[in-house]
Chains A and B, each alone.
Chain A
């Protein structure tokens, strides 16, 4: 059974069909990129999967269970983690407290009133921070971090509930080229080690073609192509969609 399967998902805002009849699946351990020009419906699609928007019609099956219309926190409980396009942490906490917060929530301890939180799950939080290379910053206020480091901490938070699926909305947005590759390599390594499936949207084609196992392309709310890098590169429709938008695959195709 696939980790996530979208079946004929649709959503419109007023008269605009943001997402029309989109279906695709993600297998276990798969690193799936969702690309498409601006306004293609990527964010809408994402927000329906993570629960911020309810679809008008269609199903979102997470290991066979329809999660369409559930609240974000319920979807998280089913093992779907996420990172945000604009990364941020809980600004009034230290780095490790941010991760501890996710672990506390995972253990369903958020309504506990007595034991100090600082002592809870500290070991596990340090482990997670070590995996993203942030253990040395554990006790710094998180709002002092550089943006690239915030992205790493966010990743550690997203891994706290042992997700089977990770949704990453433009994980490298706002990062420099070398930082960008570093982060995606890190994600890819963790994914392989833990057997997590990842669905990510991305604007930088070099990242997509270098790392994704499979690519799906959205345009004007419809899914127009689904396949590996070579298939997508040669797809006539995809070329047409991207032609004239200023983006070509020239760099990635070499």
Chain B
């Protein structure tokens, strides 16, 4: 690459950085004041693009375009304010896991709303009036619109800085970011402050999205892509730091642009196409920053989270009643193939449920006793599923070995990602795990030659006798039972206790010699490994695997299963996964708008059933005088 080409890519990177900055700044601002990580921030960004598209095409002309962009920022700001008033205000005091889930429910609802309003196809906006041309820079043509974007980023940064530094509103925002309780105690009207901050953050996201219409088409996948990028930027820049967000946006965008610019390089023995590695590069930047500065480049260590979770009962070995119930259910399931002779669908449903049980139990392992709220458990499912499928497809590896390899691959991934994840806690950990999962998903999606890209891998069928669904069902049943019992055994062993001790109080656990990071890392690895088993089974059960199946939605499904069952009980994930998988296979198949339905379920769950099903039954049981 020549120097000129290099500088050109630097300019290119700067123009992408502006969009990244706008969305990350809003996310950071909202988190700083309300302590809520708004997972729907990418959705607001996506709405921005769609709304601006409508303005630009329906009104048309310079007014429709430029006026539309400003109007969009306002509209999205109002939507943000509505979200804050109607939903978030109810959950400021809820455990942060619930806040994350509630905002994710919004992601689903907004996505379906966009599908309903604008339809499924990509919509490319018109070119920007007044900025249609390109400017000769360093012997290449740079679209003048990109030049405008380069200017807008620092301009917004400056504007935000002035607002924060000079106005009363800005002072309140800074004060609340430092100590929310104190600001409340001083008599500041928090309701108005929170609503206006949320509106401002949303408007920034809307503006960022709106500015994209001349560069990329509006599409329904934008919300999560933008969210993943924003997370990386915020984690790198430091939560709550606006200049940090800009710095990180520039770094990330530059690294990506340079990867594209470098393109294909022949090292003699191997040829590497760097433009396929933009996401890996993003991950590397984040990893390096997190090792050197765990709270981001310009971020500060988070104040201790004032935990307001429900107190948890000590774990007790299964009562005879529970054991008998477990054996009875297992026996019943063993007989299912006989009962299901008339309806083969029952076995398919059974396999789905069992795979969901393994998935949820492994997630619960780190989420409940480990206290690590992973928002990216699908990564290990995907590593297992793709590992098994690709081994079978490319190397013709036998079924049994592929099934064993699946958890091993997932284990390797969990060891790698977990090493970083256990260094963080709370929302940082949630964001990092989500970003990792996005990277796995994107790698699968981008690496078309190897993984089949969006088409996935097809024709992965198990050999006889496992090609019969009843045999495969029994295999899945036995593996699922073994996985659940094994995880349970671990939880009652010293390791499980140490993991809970580290969650209950890291400080105290360290003070009695427990290496909390190592214990949690091992827990993370075990959970990933077991999750890989579920992935391997899934690939062979379906005969195919596509990026869709390891999408972030699967990670969230897992969280919903665990919460549905109750995070504080050991049987919770089993109950939750079963109920959820059955719901998904029956009710949700009936409607095109299953995402919105799912979002509604999550919202009801979060607002009405904070303990989950098993948890609710448990406390009811205790209230009635029994001993659960």
Where the two chains meet, the residues of A that have a C-beta atom closer than 8 Å to any C-beta of B are 50, 71-73, 76-77, 82, 84, 88-94, 97, 100-102, 104-106, 109-118, 120, 141, 143, 157, 160-161
- Binary CB contact string for chain B from 488 to 529 against chain A (1 if under 8 A, 0 otherwise): 011011111110110111011111111100110010000000
Q: Give the docked Cα–Cα distance between A71 and B513 (Å).
A: 9
Is the pair A117, B508 in contact by a Cβ cutoff of 8 Å? no
Interface centre among B315, B494, B504 (most CB of A within 10 A): B494
Interface centre among B489, B513, B519 (most CB of A within 10 A): B513
Chain A residues within 8 Å of B489, by CB: 113-114
| Residue B314 CB within 8 A of the other chain | yes
Q: Give the docked Cα–Cα distance between A143 and B505 (Å).
A: 13
Is the pair B512, A101 in contact by a Cβ cutoff of 8 Å? yes
Is the pair A117, B496 in contact by a Cβ cutoff of 8 Å? yes
| Residue B317 CB within 8 A of the other chain | yes
27 CB contacts below 8 A, A to B, read A50-B511, A72-B510, A73-B513, A84-B507, A84-B508, A84-B511, A88-B505, A88-B508, A89-B508, A90-B504, A90-B505, A90-B509, A91-B312, A92-B500, A101-B498, A102-B513, A104-B497, A105-B513, A110-B497, A110-B515, A113-B489, A113-B493, A113-B495, A114-B489, A115-B493, A120-B494, A143-B311
Chain A residues within 8 Å of B311, by CB: 91-92, 143
Q: Give the docked Cα–Cα distance between A109 and B501 (Å).
A: 14
The 9 closest A-B pairs by CB, nearest first: A110-B498, A90-B504, A92-B312, A105-B513, A102-B512, A76-B513, A117-B494, A117-B497, A112-B494
Q: Give the docked Cα–Cα distance between A87 and B368 (Å).
A: 24
Chain B residues within 8 Å of A160, by CB: 512
With beta carbons under 8 angstroms apart, the residue of A73, A94, A100, A111 that contacts B511 is A73
Q: Give the docked Cα–Cα distance between A238 and B436 (Å).
A: 58
4 more contacts with CB within 8 A, not counting A91-B504, A92-B315, are A50-B511, A84-B511, A90-B505, A115-B494
| Residue B313 CB within 8 A of the other chain | yes
Chain A residues within 8 Å of B503, by CB: 92
Give, as a whole number of angstroms, the nearest-CB distance from B505 to chain A.
Answer: 6
Is the pair B508, A104 in contact by a Cβ cutoff of 8 Å? no
Is the pair A104, B510 in contact by a Cβ cutoff of 8 Å? no
Chain B's closest residue to A141 (CB) is B314
Chain B residues within 8 Å of A118, by CB: 317, 492
Q: Give the docked Cα–Cα distance between A106 and B492 (Å).
A: 18
Is the pair A110, B519 in contact by a Cβ cutoff of 8 Å? yes
Chain A residues within 8 Å of B519, by CB: 110-111
Chain A's closest residue to B497 (CB) is A117
Is the pair B512, A76 in contact by a Cβ cutoff of 8 Å? yes
Q: Give the docked Cα–Cα distance between A143 and B515 (Å).
A: 23
Is the pair A97, B494 in contact by a Cβ cutoff of 8 Å? no
Q: Give the docked Cα–Cα distance between A89 and B518 (Å).
A: 21
With beta carbons under 8 angstroms apart, the residue of A76, A91, A110, A143 that contacts B495 is A110
Give, as a whole number of angstroms, the nearest-CB distance from A78 to chain B.
Answer: 10
Give, as a whole number of angstroms, the nearest-CB distance from A196 to chain B.
Answer: 16
Q: Give the docked Cα–Cα distance between A101 and B503 (Å).
A: 13
Give, as a whole number of angstroms, the nearest-CB distance from B616 to chain A.
Answer: 19
Chain A's closest residue to B526 (CB) is A113
Chain B residues within 8 Å of A141, by CB: 313-314
Chain A residues within 8 Å of B500, by CB: 90, 92-93
Interface centre among B314, B315, B490, B504 (most CB of A within 10 A): B314
Q: Give the docked Cα–Cα distance between A151 and B243 (Å).
A: 45
Is the pair A94, B314 in contact by a Cβ cutoff of 8 Å? yes
Q: Give the docked Cα–Cα distance between A77 and B515 (Å).
A: 11
Give, as a whole number of angstroms, the nearest-CB distance from B511 to chain A.
Answer: 5
Give, as a whole number of angstroms, the nearest-CB distance from A250 to chain B.
Answer: 36
Is the pair A104, B494 in contact by a Cβ cutoff of 8 Å? yes
Is the pair B312, A112 in contact by a Cβ cutoff of 8 Å? no
A105 touching B317 in the complex, CB below 8 Å, given contacts A73-B514, A88-B505, A90-B508: no
Give, as a whole number of angstroms, the nearest-CB distance from B93 to chain A.
Answer: 19
